[in-house]
Structure 1
Amino acid sequence: MVLDPQDILQRFGFDNICKIAFGHDPTYLLPSLPQEKFALAFENAARISGERFGEFHPLIWKIKRVLNIGSEKQMRIAVNEVREFAKEIVKEKNQELGEKSSLESVDLLSRFLSSGHSDENFIIDIMISFILAGHDTTSTALIWFFLLVSKHPDVENEILKEINDKSATTTFEKVKDMVYTHAALSESMRLYPPVPVDGKEANR
């Protein structure tokens, strides 16, 4: 079976970021490589949003948005699907919070709700922003990292040596002590930043 490492790492990044943000595992990385509705809607929204930069003039996509046609119609559908999914998760967490004095989970959403935040739209925006920030950046950073490591066997050997030295205990504290691996990852991100373009536009 031929696997696309970029697809695998995007699925890995998506599952992990959803666990951290929502405490929800979309199981996008199952061996069957399912087409998870929320993940697809999220990817479509991110892709269409990125394609706006390629338009001849911003007025083109803005007109399409007003008329609700073409890619902007697809964008609206995708965003609504993402928000509906997030809303369901927030609803479930609120019900859980109503049944208990506090949430046991350590995900970001549980912490927000436990601290007294009640504005649903605000919480949903925070969760979506968090997924957007961590989803593509994680997979992009890792794909460049693995590509660079594959071209430098000496670096690969040093990383494997460090992993084997720490293999007896794989706690987060021990992983933090993997200085060489951390340096290699940092260097690959210096050479190939996960977010090479980050455009801003003044609202007024």
Structure 2
Amino acid sequence: MEITYYGQSCFLFKIGDHRVLFDPFISPNELAADIDVDSIKADFILLSHGHQDHVHDAEQIAKNNNATIIAIHEIATWFGNKGVEKTHPMNIGGKVTLPFGTVKMVTAVHSSSLPDGSNGGVAAGFVVETEEGTFYFAGDTALTYDMKLIPEQFDLDFALMPIGDNFTMDIHDALIASDFVQVDKFIAMHYDTFPYIKIDQEEVKEVAKMANKELILMEIGQSINL
């Protein structure tokens, strides 16, 4: 599958003929100034929680593409009330079968509210199982023992983990999380966008190398195949 990074926690997955976008926060992100939001094509938009740095461009991209927003019930309803025609509400532990595979909503330990202060339900992560591979999108989360349940149900090929600290896990907790979910390869997210989450990239690479983990730090606009 092809993965394109748009900054913060926003990734576009091309899975077969389908395009699956996670947590679009692009237009306010100075680091993503070269990305044209209107050029992004998506069939499905998965939102881990309601904070602005994860949902800011979701409405625009959904309406541009007639895409389906998949999120916890409160967030899906909020976007429906804003005129997004296609939404799919979920809740923790639920699973849905979609044209590209299955999506299970799993625990994330984090807060959630929407940009206007509306109730954002609770934060979540996703396990996505497809014919091209299975991966875990952790969302914004602390390290939690609930992660140990994931490999009891899924054989993951890789994960996407926050490493910016302050609001989420840091690299050290992310490495423990990678052991919990039993992956040796993970893509970093939720770092460098704001002063609170600035990291030393060379340091985190070295920490991951010492732990015998493959840490992938993507450039904004970069695409890779996994």
Tell me which interval the TM-score lies in, with the shorter structure as reference length: under 0.3
Which structure's CA Rg is the greater one? 1
- TM-score after normalising by structure 2: 0.23
More helix by percentage: 1
Query: Bigger relative contact order, structure 1 or 2, given CA contacts below 8 A and separation 6+?
Result: 1
TM-score by length of 1: 0.24
Higher strand share: 2
